[in-house]
Structure 1
Amino acid sequence: MINTHEVLNQPPPRDGVDEYSTNVPLVEAVARWGRSDVPALADIGRHVGSAGFQRDADRANTNPPVLHTHDKWGNRVDEVEYDDAYHRIMAAAIGAGAHTSAWADPGRGANVERAAAFFLFAQVEPGHACPVSMTHAAVPTLELAASGLRDEWMPRLLSRAYEPALADRVGPRAARPASRSDADRLDTLAALTARPAKASALVGMAMTEKQGGSDVRANTTRAEPTGVDDAWGREFRLTGHKWFCSAPMSDAFLVLAQAPGGLSCFFVPRVLPDGTRNVFRIQRLKDKLGNRSNASSEIELDDTAAWLVGDEGRGVATIVQMVTRTRLDCVIGSAAGMRQSVAEAVWHVRHRSAFGALLVDQPAMTAVVADLALESEAATLTAMRVARSYDDDAAAAASSASSSSSSDVPEQGFRRLATAVAKYWICKRGPGHAYEALECLGGNGYTEGFPLARRYREQPLLAIWEGSGNVIALDVLRVLAREPEAFEAFFDVVGEAAGEHAAFDLALAEARSVVGEVAADVSSGAAAARARELTERLALVLQASLLVQHAPAPVADAFVRTRLEGDSGLLYGTLPPGVDTAAILARA
C-alpha cells in the first residue's frame, strides 16, 4: 500500500541550537569589544534556541494581549492580560539582564554584552523586547529626577526579578491619606504600607499624540502644577491623550506634556505612593500588522499624578536620553531579525533538495543566501560597535569624571552620529532582507508556524519606532548643523580602515565630499532633499570600514564590491563573479 502522507525532503526542526555560539560574527564582536562573558551568553543562546522557547514565542504571538478596562463589578482597572508564554519569555530576558545589566554592572564592554543578550532574545521573540528596551533606556533619564524618586525606583529597574502584576504600593514613602481618601480608609492604607513593596519595575514612555506624531512639540496634553514639592520632586496633574503608548502594563512611564514653562518630561507611576491606582485609562489596544505579543495602546490621562523629571520646558532634551538608547535597540533588534532570517534560510537550503541537489549547492540559491548573510554580518558588527560607544557612560558611572580618558569624548561624538545613521540604514534594510529570506523557504516561508512570516511583519516596525526614515535623516542634518565635531569623530573611526581597499577609500572621500556640499547650506530645502543620500553614504562607509578592519577578506571584499562599487544588481543574490560565497556561508 502506498503511504500518501510520508513526509520526505522537509528540513528537520531547527531547535536545540546554541544561537550565540553558532553566530560567528556576534561571538567575534563580543570578544573584541565586550568582556568575553561567553558562558553566560552561550547559556542564553541555548535557551532561546530550545524548542520550549520557540513554542513560547509562537504562543505569545498567537495568543496576543487582551485589554480589561473594568472588573466584573464595573470598577475601572485598565489591565492587560498576557499569555503565560509571554511571562516566561519576559522572566528569562529580565533574569538574564537583557534590560539593565549595563547599568547594574558598568564598565568597558558592559553595553556590548547587554546588547548581545538583548540581540539573542529579540532574535527569536521580538515583541517582548519593547518593554525590555524601554526599561534599559529609562535609566539615564531617571537619573535627572529628584533624589527621592530616583532612589526609590532605580533599584527596581536594575532588579533581575520579573513581577508582572502591578504593585499594591510602590515603596516605603509615607502615605498622604487626607488628600487621597477619607478617614475610613486609614486602616486599609496602613495594611497596604505594611506589605513588602514590589522589588522590580518596568518603565515605558508615552510621547506621540494624534495631532502631532513625531512633532512632539505639537502635543496638547497639559501639566498643571499642584504646588506640592515632596521627595519625588515637583508634583503636577496631567490631562490629555497619547495616541501610542507601548507596553501599557508597565509600572511607570516617562511622558511629555505642556507645563506652564513649556514642553516637559514627567514620571507617571501606575500605582501611587499610598497604594491607590493613578488615573491611566487604556482606551484600546492597537490592532497591529505585527509585533503581536506586545501591547500598544491609546491612553487618556485625566488629572493624573505626575512628577517633573529634569527642567521644566526641557522635556525633549530630558527624554532624548531615553530615545537615543531605544534607537540603538531598534538597530540591535533589526540586526537580530536579520540573523533569524539568515539562520532559518540557510538551515532550509542546507536540508532541502530540488532538481537533484541540495538547494545550498545550486549557484543561484548560494548567491542569495550568501548575500543575505553578508547583510546580516554587516548589521551585527555595526550594532555591536555602536553599542561599544555607549560604554563610556557606564564607565563614568563607576568612576569619577577625573578618571575618564580623553578618548571618551570622540567616542561620544561618534555615537551621536552613528546611532542615527545605523538606525536609518539597518532598520530600513530589514524588511527587504526578511522578504528575500522568506522566499528561500518557498511556500513554507509564507506559512504561519514557520518564524519568517512573523519576522516579515515585524521588521518594518523597527524602522518606524523612535523616528521613521525622514525624522532620522533630518536628525543627521541637525547634527551637521549643531554638532560638527560628531562628524569629525565619526570619520576618525571610519577612517581607521583607510588604505586597505581602494574602493573603500574612494567611497570615503565621496562621503566626505557630500558632507561638505550639504554643510555649505545645511538649513536649506536642498540640504533636506539630500538628507537620505547623505545618511545612506555614511551608513555604507561605516559598515564597510568595520568589515574591512574586522571581518575575513572574502566578506569585506564582497561587501565593498556590492555595496560601494555597485558591482551587482539591485536585489539580493546578484553577486559579481569571484565572490567567495563558500567563505561567507561558512560564517552563517
Structure 2
Amino acid sequence: MTNNTHDLSQTHQVTNQLHPLENNNLFTQDTALQEAIKREGGHWAHQALSDFGALTGSSENIEWGHLANQFKPTFKTHDRFGHRVDQANFHPSYHQLMNQAIQHGLHASPWTNPGTGAHVARAAKTYMQSQVEAGHGCPITMTFACTPTLLKQANVAKEWLPLVHSTQYDSENKPYFEKAGVTIGMGMTEKQGGSDVRANTTRAHPVGQPGAGELYELIGHKWFLSAPMCDAFLVLAQAPGGLSCFLLPRWRPDGSKNAMHIQQLKDKMGNVSNASSEVEFRGALAWLIGDEGRGVANILEMVALTRFDCMVGSSAGMRQAVSQVIHHCQHRSVFGKPLIQQPLMQNVLADLALESEAAMSLSFRMAKALDHMANDEHEAMIMRLGTAIGKYWICKRTPPHAYEAMECIGGSAVMEDCIMPRLYREAPINAIWEGSGNVQCLDVLRAITKTPKSLEALSAELHAAEGRNPDYDKRLSCISQALKSVDDFEQQGRWLVENLALLFQGSVLIQAGNETVSDMFCATRLRDNNAQMFGAIPKGFNLAQYIQRAAL
C-alpha cells in the first residue's frame, strides 16, 4: 500500500483524445470549395478568399461564435428614465461577427462591386463565416437581399442605399441619418396567416398624398419580425389599394422614435444568437415601396435572395459538421485502430462528405446564375426554379446530416461545450424559415405552370450531363416522363422536387468533371433501391481517398 498522496491522486492519463479544430484555413483547406469557385467564375477572388478563410478558421472567430450563442440577446422596453427604447442587447462577440461580415462585404459586395463572379465570391465568404456562427447571418442576409426591392423606389433608394451598402457597422439604437451604416430586417408573418401573407391584417393609411414613395402610418402587428435591432424593416401591410410593401424605420425622419413596439423576443430552440421578435405598429411611419397592391411582387426579389442564402447557410452547416467528424475520426482510436481507418466508419464519413459537397456545389451553381441573370435569360430561369428546388432539398437534408455526424463523434457530441449541439439546433431553421418545404414545392409548381421557360432551362441543364452515367440517365428519363403531365403535381410535389434536386446536384457534379465524385453521388442518390441512411456507398469506390479530399 502506497503512502504517496501524489500517486493516489493520479487516477489515469488522458489519452485517445483530440485537440480542438481551430486555426485552419476554411478556403485553402477545402478542395471542393476551391474547385466550385473556379468553376463558377470567382477565381479572381482567390487571394481575398484565402485571407478570409484564415480569418474565419481562427480560434478567435470560433470563440466569438461560441460566446454569441452562450449569451443570448436580452431585451429592454424602457430605459431607466421611463423612455421607450425597444432595445435588444447582445454579447460583444455578436457585434464582432457582425462587424467582420460587414467590413468584408457579405451584406452588399455584389451591389457595390458587380461583375463576373461577384455573387460567387460573396457566397464563398458567407459559406465560410456561416461555419463559424449562423445566427448573425440573418440580419446580414436581409441587408444583402433588400437592395433589389429598395431600388424599386427611387427616392427611398437614394436616401437609404448608401447607408445599406456602407462597410461600417454601427450597432447603436439611434436615428439612421446619424449613422455611417445601417442594417435592414423584414417582417411579413402575422398570427392569423403564417405563410399566407395575403391574410395579413396590418393596415396602412397615407399620411398625406398616397402613392409610391409616400409616407403611411401602419397599425397592426407582426408575429415574426427579424431582426429587431436593425435600422429599418421591409414589411407588408394592407393599403387602400391592397397588400403593399413598406420600408419602416426604427426612428422617424424628425429624430423621434417610431411607433414600432417590440412585445417580446422569441425563445427559439436554435439560431439563439440572433433576436427574433413580436411587434405591434401603433401608427408607425413607413415609406411605400412601389405601387399599392404590389406588395408581394415587390418583396419577392428580397425573399428569393434570402432563400438563396438559406441554401448557402445550410451547406455551410453540413461542411462544418463534416470537418468536425473527420477531425474526430482522424484522432480517435477504437478497437485498436483509428476510426478513420475502419471500413464501416469510412462509408459513413464519405457519405456525409458527399452530401456536403453536393449541397455546396448546387448552391454555387445558383450563385453563378445570380451573377448572370440580368443579361442571360437561361440563367434567370435557372434562378427562378433552382432557388425553390435547392432551398427545399438542401435545407431538408441538413437535420439528418447533423444528427449522423453527432453519432459518429459519440457522447461528447451532445455536450454543450462542443459545436455539434449548436449545429443540430440550427439544422432545421433554414428549412422552416423563408418558406417551408411545402411552400417551396408550390413555388416550383407556379414556376413550371406560369413560367414554362424555367422548366425548359432546367431541362437543358439536366440534359447537358446526359450520357456520362447510367444511373443519372435512367432517373432523368423517368422524371422527364413525369413532367409531361403535372395534373396531380401538388399531391406528388415532394417526390418530384426531390428528384429534380437530386438530378440538378448530379448534373452539376457530372459537369464538374470529377468522375469519382459524380459516380459516387449517382450510385448512392439516383440508383434504384438506393439506401435511405448515410453510410451505404456501394463497393468500388476509394473511400479513404475521398475522405482525405474533404478533410481540413
Residue 103 of structure 2 aligns with which residue? 95
Q: CA deviation at 1:566?
A: 3.7
User: Which residue of structure 2 aligns with residue 47 of structure 1?
Assistant: 55
**Aligned partners of 1:92 and 1:347: how far apart in 2?**
26
- Tell whether the 8 Å contact from 2:176 to 2:182 is kept in structure 1 after alignment: no
* Equivalent of residue 13 in structure 2, options 6, 12, 22: 6
Q: Deviations over 1:485-535 (max 9, x none)?
A: 1000111122211111122111111111111122xx2xxxx3211111110
Alignment of 1:93-242 (within 5 A): 93-145=101-153, 147-167=154-174, 169-171=175-177, 197-228=178-209, 233-242=213-222
3-state DSSP of counterpart to 2:236? strand
- AA aligned opposite 1:148: N
> Which residue of the partner structure matches residue 38 of structure 1?
46
Deviation readout 1:162-192 (Å, 9 max, x if unpaired): 111133x333xxxxxxxxxxxxxxxxxxxxx
Matches within 5 A, 1:287-298: 287-298=267-278
Cα separation, 2, equivalents of 1:166 and 1:233: 25
Partner of 2:514: 552
What pairs up with 1:524-535 in 2 under 5 angstroms? 526-535=488-497
CA separation in 1, counterparts of 2:259 and 2:11? 61
Instruction: Calculate the TM-score normalised by the size of structure 1.
Output: 0.90
Query: Distance between the aligned counterparts of 2:357 and 2:343, measured in 1?
Result: 21
> Is 1:542 matched with 2:548?
no
Structure 1 gap ranges (5+)? 172-196, 397-403
Q: Which residue of 2 aligns with 1:181?
A: none
Q: Which amino acid aligns with 1:110?
A: A
**Secondary structure at 2:207 match in 1:** strand
**Residue of structure 2 in register with 1:68 after alignment:** 76
One of 281, 290, 293 as aligned partner of 2:261: 281
**For residues 59-97 of structure 1, what are the alpha-carbon distances to aligned partners after superposition, in whole Å with 9 as ceiling and x for unaligned?**
000101001111112211101000000000110111111
Percentage identity across aligned positions? 48
In 2: Cα distance, 1:316 partner to 1:587 partner: 44
The SS at the match of 2:489 is helix
Tell me, in whole angstroms, the C-alpha distance in 2 between the residues paired with 1:344 and 1:5. 26
Map 1:362-511 to 2 at 5 A. Answer: 362-392=342-372, 404=375, 408-511=376-479
Shift of 1:6: 3.1
Kept in 1: contact 2:176–2:231 (CA 8 A):
no
Q: Counterpart of 1:238 in 2: which secondary structure?
A: strand
Q: Which amino acid counterpart does residue 60 of structure 1 have in structure 2?
A: A
Give the whole-Å Cα distance in 2 for the aligned partners of 1:336 and 1:34: 20
Runs (4+) of structure 1 exceeding 6 A deviation are: none
Is the counterpart of residue 580 in structure 1 residue 548 in structure 2?
A: no
Structure 1 distance, partners of 2:284, 2:50, is 44
RMSD: 1.3
Q: Return the offset for 1:208.
A: 0.1
Q: Deviations over 1:332-383 (max 9, x none)?
A: 0000000000000000000100110000000111110100000000001000
Could you tell me which residue of structure 2 aligns to residue 353 of structure 1? 333
The Cα of 1:567 is off from its aligned counterpart by 5.5
SS state at 1:528 partner: coil
Matched residues, number: 542
Contact 1:252/1:267 (<8 A) preserved: yes
Aligned mates of 2:513, 2:308 — CA distance in 1: 22
* Kept in 2: contact 1:206–1:255 (CA 8 A): yes
Give the secondary-structure state (helix, strand or coil) at the position aligned to 2:538: coil
Q: TM-score, normalised by structure 2?
A: 0.96
Q: Which structure 2 residue ranges, 5 or more long, are not aligned? A: 1-6
1:235 Cα shift?
Answer: 1.0
CA contact (8 A) 1:554 1:583 kept: no
**Structure 2 CA distance, aligned partners of 1:551 and 1:453?**
36
| In the alignment, structure 1 residue 80 sits paired with structure 2 residue 88 | yes
